[in-house]
Each structure stands twice: as structure tokens, then as C-alpha cells.
Amino acid sequence: MKGDHPAYPASSVVSPLSSAIWLCADDYGIARGVNTAIRDLIMRGRLNAASVMVVPPAFTRAEARSLAILNNGTPRAAIGLHLTLTAPFRPLMPGFQPLRDGGFPLLRDLFKAGLLRRLNPATLAAEIDAQLSAFTAAFGRPPDFIDGHQHAHLAPQVRDAVLAAAKRRAPGAWVRQCGSVQPAIKRLGDPKGLLLNAFSRAMRARAQTLGVPTNPAFAGTYGFRSGADFARKFPRFLDALPDGGVVMCHPGHVDEELIRLDPLTDLREREYAYLAGDTFPATLARAGFALARPPIIQAPESRPE
């Protein structure tokens, strides 16, 4: 398989007349309210991928089972690892550097350390392996894909370690690259997206060298300001999105744990309301898209020891 295509074939699309996309809810595991909202949308057929954080206290074996069971019978969603390397979360392994109050660094400090080649390759690899092991222990199999909380997997040094781990620990899994196919001139109002696009170039090149699959395009970035209108922004995410493209989203219900851990709160409720409502499927169909069908995955209990 080429290194610039997702592991799941575009032919798994719901309708032969539509383009297949992956609508992925990030942050499963961060808080129960988020977990519940994501599972509800998967059951409704409004999501076909969920990215799981294994380091927050709210991620438990029970929460993993509640998600995995949705794939019994006809698979509803691909389930991936949302690699977490930034504050306020804490490493699973000792020795990770740099630290901030005993936890992971802020995103800017992680990228700075990577740019300056100051991340310890051994401890970085150990942490990535630990999170992959935690995922595999909880779900009984490796992740379908790997990405990063706050896109930390794109940081210099981190991206190399992630791709190496994916090739070794999760063969066949694709790694999220966050580059868009839209011309930069059309994305001047999305500085975050432009920055991710720049960091994704090196990710794509390295992935292709290693033979690790990546998604052909990515969308879903916007300024997480309190007045942001997700319903108006979503149709723009679909502009020029190719078959197999990934759209990121963050639906959820706000609870005390989420408020304690993350500033993204009320916007999660808005995203959930839009994705659960009647406008979303009509918008998707009108744009010529459908959600790709995940492949049939062998149940963990039937896998050989």
C-alpha cells in the first residue's frame, strides 16, 4: 500500500455515487460527558471514527468496552489512538522530558523542544509504546489509526517516533497528517490550519519513506472562540475534500471533569447538536459525501493468545 492513502479503501463508502470520508471525533477518554456524546453519535450513524486518549483518569476498561461494543456485528467506527503528550496530562512512563508540574509540557514547549532536537528519543519512544500498549490492553487489538492530541504527533522528533512505532506496533494502521488540498490563498482565515499543513509536509514525506499509510487530506480546524458557529463552518470543511479525507471534530457534553481538564467546553455541545441534528446529513449528501464503512475487525476474544 502506498504511504499517502488511508488504510481503509474508499470503496467502503456507503453509496457508490458518493465520496467516502472519515468524520473523526477526537478526545474519547477525556471525560465521561465527551465519551457519552461520541458513542451516541456513532450509534446514530453520524460519526465513523473515534480517537481515544488513554492517559486521562476518565479512560477506563469500562469506557473502552462501551465504545468497542458498538462495532459488534456491523462495524460502525474505526477506533484510533489519540496520542497525548501535552499538559495537563501526565506521562504513563517515568523519565519523560520536558515536564511541567510533573505532567507533560505545554504544546508550544513540546514543539520548541522538538525543533531544537532536545527531546530524548528513548523516553519519547517509551511513552508512545506505553500508550499503544494501554490501548491494545483496553481494546484487545492495536489501533486502526494514530493521531495526536493538539496535533502533538506532528512535532519534530515526535513524528519520527510515532511513525516508527506505528510501523512496528500497529502494522496497517494509518497516521493522521493534517495537510489540506485547498490552496493556501483560500485558507488565510485559518492560520492554525496553515501551520498544521506546514508541519504535515515532513510527516507525509517520512511516512512515505517508511511505507506507513496516511490520509490524503485533512479538515476541521477553526478558531475555538466562544462565538464560533460550527454549523456554518462545517460545509467549508468539505470543500475539495478528496475520497478518504479526514474531518476532525470535538463533540461532547460538558461535565466537571471536562471543565477541569480542557478549555474547549461549550463548543463541544454545539458540535454535538449540529452532528445530531437534521441539517448535518443533508449537508453531507448535498456535497456528495458519505461516511466510509470501517472494515470488519476480528473480535478481541477470538484472537489467538
For residues 136 and 165, the answer to whether their CB atoms sit within 8 Å is no
Predicted confidence at residue 12, as pLDDT, reads 35
Minimum mean pLDDT range among 66-70, 96-100, 181-185: 181-185
Average pLDDT over the chain, rounded to an integer: 89
The answer to whether the beta carbons of residues 208 and 179 sit under 8 Å apart is no
What is the pLDDT, as a whole number, of residue 240?
86
**What are 118-140's pLDDT values in tens digits?**
999 999 999 999 999 999 999 99
Instruction: For strands 174-175 and 19-28, give the pairing.
Output: unpaired
- Lowest-pLDDT range, 17-26, 34-43, 90-99, 143-152? 17-26
Cα–Cα distance measured from residue 228 to residue 222, given in angstroms and rounded to the nearest whole number: 8
151/2: higher pLDDT: 151
- Cell numbers that stand for 106 in this block: 505545554
pLDDT above 70 covers what percent of the chain?
Answer: 88
- pLDDT for residue 145: 98
What's residue 16's pLDDT?
53
Q: Where are the domains of the chain?
A: 10-296
The pLDDT of residue 3? 41
User: What's residue 228's pLDDT?
Assistant: 87
Three cell numbers, residue 47: 460519526
- What pLDDT does 190 receive? 67
C-alpha radius of gyration, the chain, whole number:
18
**CATH numeric code, 10-296:** 3.20.20.370
Count Cβ atoms below 10 Å from residue 51 Cβ, excluding itself: 26
Please choose, from the candidates 303, 299, 283, the residue with its C-alpha nearest in 3D space to the C-alpha of residue 291: 283
**Residue 198 confidence class, pLDDT cut points 50, 70, 90:** confident
> Cα(68)–Cα(18) distance, rounded to whole angstroms?
27
At a CB cut-off of 8 Å and minimum separation 6, what does 177 contact? 154, 200, 203, 204, 207, 214, 215, 218
Contact of 68 with 79, CB cutoff 8 Å: yes
C-beta separation of 29 from 65 below 8 A: no
For 179, residues 6+ apart whose C-beta sits below 8 A from its C-beta are: 196, 197, 200, 201, 204, 217, 218
Q: Which residues pair with 81 in a beta bridge?
A: 52, 146
Helix (H) / strand (E) containing 203:
helix 191-210
Is the per-residue pLDDT at 302 higher than 80? Answer: no
Which pLDDT tens digit goes with each residue over 23-82? Answer: 999 999 999 999 999 999 999 999 999 999 999 999 999 999 999 999 998 999 999 999
pLDDT for 186 equals: 63
The pLDDT score that the predictor gives to residue 14 is: 47
- Percent of the chain exceeding pLDDT 90 equals 79
User: Is 11's pLDDT higher than 60?
Assistant: no
C-alpha cell at 33: 460527558
- pLDDT tens, position by position, 202-234: 999 999 999 999 999 999 988 877 788 999 999
Q: pTM of the prediction?
A: 0.90
Q: Which amino acid is at 96?
A: F
Q: Three cell numbers at 247?
A: 474531518
Count of residues in the chain: 305
**pLDDT tier at 296, thresholds 50, 70, 90:** low
Mean pLDDT, residues 239-250 taken together = 94
pLDDT of 189 strictly over 70: no
Place of cell 483560500: 186
pLDDT of residue 188: 57
Residue 293 phi, psi (nearest 5): -90, 125
Number of Cβ within a 10 Å radius of residue 47: 25
DSSP conformation letters of 71-135 = GSSS---EEEEEE--STT---SSTT-SS-BTTBPPPHHHHHHHHHTT-S-HHHHHHHHHHHHHHH
